[in-house]
Amino acid sequence: MIEPETFTFLKDLALNNRKAWVDEHREERDDAMRNFAGVAQTLHDYSERFDTLVAETKSKPKQSYTKFFQDARQRSGPGLYRTQIDIFANIGHPEENFGYYLHIEPENCFAGAALLQPSKDAMKRTRDHLVEDPQGLVEVLEDPDFKSVFPKGLITRKTLNVVPEGYNNDDPAAPFLKMVDWGCQATISDDDLLDDDAIYTLIDIFRAAAPLVRHFD
């Protein structure tokens, strides 16, 4: 699924995160982008096996992965370019809808479901839903199949010290309201993603994550 040259390019990019270097290695960059688009198409082609709503959504493989160049407003780290890529399988936009993702980063690959870097509206919708049905999320997180694949449960890149304005600190959903995004992830080795049958590993992960996505639909 992931080509060895893609991992090599990402490793080299991490050591040479400069425009001049990327310009000199445009062919390798374009090959990696074709690989990502191919993986995105494969996820969509097999999505009937883990989420029929995704399968019914029009496939846009070239728009289904994060781009190398980092916008200054969303830049992570000092480099101009991302050295890790997320590939999505969503019914909408990753900033608006929960969906499935594959994170590709040498020696730090994982997959799951999430609402990553939600827009302001998506964040409010999600928090309102958490207040309306906190027990529904607990039931998803306590499901044995979910727990076996995602032992860390619901994760976030940042937790606020207090609940956001407009919500109650003693609300049953308070621990989730403090999260700035929401997701679950299962680690995958680089070797597993290099395997031609990697899609079946991802299908198992996405099936386990499907109840989380459906809960927030």
- Tens of pLDDT, residue by residue, the chain (217 residues): 999 999 999 999 999 999 999 999 999 999 999 999 999 999 999 999 999 999 999 999 999 999 888 765 555 666 788 899 999 999 988 899 999 999 999 999 999 999 988 999 999 999 999 999 989 999 999 999 999 999 999 999 999 999 999 999 999 999 999 999 999 999 999 999 999 999 999 999 999 999 999 999 8
Give the separation between CA 52 and CA 8, rounded to whole angstroms: 34
In single-letter form, the type of residue at position 11 comes to K
Give the separation between CA 113 and CA 99, rounded to whole angstroms: 5
Strands 182-188 and 109-115: antiparallel
| E strand or H helix that includes residue 201 | helix 198-215
Show the DSSP H helices in 16-160 as ranges.
19-24, 26-45, 52-56, 120-132, 134-142, 144-149
User: What's the number of domains the chain is made of?
Assistant: 1
Residue 81 region, left (φ>0) first, then alpha (ψ -120 to 50), else beta? beta
Domain range for 42 is: 4-215
Q: What is the CATH number of the domain that holds 192?
A: 3.30.930
Beta strands in 83-198, from DSSP E residues, in sequence order: 85-89, 99-104, 109-115, 182-188
Q: Report how far apart, in Å, the C-alpha atoms of 111 and of each of 67, 68, 72, 75, 198 are.
A: 18, 19, 26, 22, 12
